[in-house]
Chains A and B, each alone.
Chain A
């Protein structure tokens, strides 16, 4: 009896697979496109499915559900994006039961776009009108470099600044670096004292991208039809050479990031600074509890003295996934979630979400001094940094693969085999190969 059942299941499975692949074809696609053109209320009661991995998001959504009996939102959850949720969303898109809304990080949005997984929100007037509420560069992250399309509503951002041990800098009479040249000088002095100025992460390629972003570099561009990939010239080369020198001269440590070893290096005062995003404030506080009160935050070191450029590391948007029948209601919810004071305050309370709106940066909770940082109101620094992030930076459509390949190269470079620039060169080539393999039009 078991075997008969197994055979039936196997048979059904093939049928289902065949059914899916044919239904993904042109017939359904065209009707979807027709529906998507309109952004009108569906009428009647609507239930939206919303996928997010933020712990405690249910409490925030409850605020909405209590006030909007006709538009109820149900939360689906899972591991963080690259740890499984993106793959799940792609599976659901394939099966035709994707949720209406999904949390998608900025660097994954182009991937969903090229796989035709997103609804264009440009049809929704309210979304287009909300543009000015958001910090300029976050809007660039959801339009994906186009003029007329909007593929999501920005949720949070990760402007970068310099976390540093103010007590150690002061005690050893080393000035806090304001340029990358000064940063290297300070690194030498700190090395002479037996410490490291910072740890170079071999796995956080998006952090490195943040450095390139700050330096005015661009890894990807899309002229409307073709992609170009350039990770090895201009600012990318300058940044890679700079960090390569620091590694070669043993001025930075190369512990694997996010491990206990890495935490311990900070906790034991062996490493003095971290170039990180606003959400990193929490990571240090929990990873290096013994150093409480001894940290401060300053604007990131600059390539040209007197500049105020900042990079960005992380941040997500809320996108409406292809096939949603409730574009209007989804957009309405996404706007509430990411622009209303009520939701932004609740998000910050639940999960330290740092808002992407201009008004959100002035939330009362983001004006307070933070004990771990000696009472410094650190979010003022990040708010300033947020205003200085280059709005034109574009992510590529295969970032998971790009990160993995560059990270392999960075690991070799950190152990003395090859250089960061070589890692970027091979990462660029494999990115182009991957895009070609997925039939994504790319030059080179």
Chain B
């Protein structure tokens, strides 16, 4: 118990340091890139990891996702998605608060209260029907709102596209998740891994068509994923306000 608390404290300090480093970095980097270009200094390594992930995806993740879709009917998959969203409430609401969005945090808490009770442990998104819509937040987005830039793009083995900011955010979210901390304290780590596994399969199932289309339409799939990831993250950061950061689109009358 004592050890665990110290290790938690240590990870806390680690993340504080990592966040500070990110601030320094984002202030120091002289950003002269065009909108839509992604900073990718480790491209060759990234491409290798990407190729490795693709093999794994083709042989494991995609077949599992397709099998899951086959075995589990739509309402069941929807229910599992709802439960996962409900379980993410503490992290989601926490990030809303860190981003200064008190209303968003209240919405999250309201959603959890309604869905956990009337929605039977989160299986049904009753709050969603009532107009309290889920807005996905994470610490990567929070860092972005605080002014931290993406940093270098990198592909995480097994997990896929990310960047320094979002990678740190991901770690921070999973370590700060009260549910995970609780499960670690009662020594039920298996549940953490089970939840993570279910959420990976559920997310992959969600993306079957999207990824198929992106790949079949692409000449350089790596470049397409890199650009799409960065743009999609920007959409989430601005809470789906497509007007923020719209790229300039010149008129070509001149030539």
Is B truly associated with A?
no
Residues of B bordering A, CB below 8 Å: none
Residues of A bordering B, CB below 8 Å: none
